[in-house]
Amino acid sequence: MGLPNNYSLEVPERCLDLLTSLLPNVRQNSRQMDRYQGALTTTLTLALATPMLSLPIERIEKHLGLDEGYADDRHLAPELAKRVSEAIVNRRLSDYPAFAALDWHFLEGIPPFNMARGMPGVLARKLNTPEAATAAQEMGFQLFLRCLRNALSHGGIIYLDEHGEATAGEARMLCFVSARPERTRYICDKRDGPCPSHTPKNKDLRLLRVSEEHFQAFLHRWVAWLRDEKLRNLTAA
């Protein structure tokens, strides 16, 4: 296999190729369905989505406006880095109709809860409201991308059924949970030795929900967006 020259562009494209070719086989694998009480479509989708989102964000978007970083692809495609910068500054999700049309729902300022215990019913109901759909349309495009990246990178995923409620069965929706840490400065006045390690507390959570089918459609459009030479085909006129 040829090595990728630009991880931010080529790895997402390869992952999408794998997702497209493997999904039909996973949907028809009766042995796996018997073993796991359903097709492993969600597992496959999330496994391949993680590098598809994290690599371009970590190796291009995260470094915009900064000196060259230790994992920085901007020199490989400086025009792309410039266009990405222009595409995210002061843009909302609604500025990208091909993405916005995928029925996202968004909540922020949510007090931290343990997602391993499932989705609290009150939050499931709030995510089902028109207000949550409007909030998703109005969220900044950079925040939208970072919510997905953070959730995928840190395991912030809740499987939901077709009603948007936590399920132990097959997922029909996905909730991406992203934590917002406290920004208060840590002060250590221990003067007779090194300061102890400090782990910042989470201030609150952001919840971004979409159906599994629409998330798969987003991944296709995401790779097309990365590959678009002008990055304008998916933007509002």
Asked whether the whole model's pTM tops 0.85, one would answer no
Q: For 143-225, list the strands marked E by DSSP.
A: 157-160, 173-181, 202-211
pLDDT(46) > 60: yes
Nearest in space to 56 (alpha carbons), one of 237, 233, 222: 222
Q: How far is CA 212 from the centre of its chain?
A: 13
Q: Residue 80 — pLDDT band, cuts 50, 70, 90?
A: low
pLDDT of residue 103: 93
* Helix or strand holding residue 105 (H, E): strand 105-110
Reduce the DSSP state of residue 140 to 3 states and report it: strand
Span 11-37, pLDDT tens digits? 888 999 999 999 999 999 999 989 988
Residues 177, 201: Cα–Cα separation, whole Å: 16
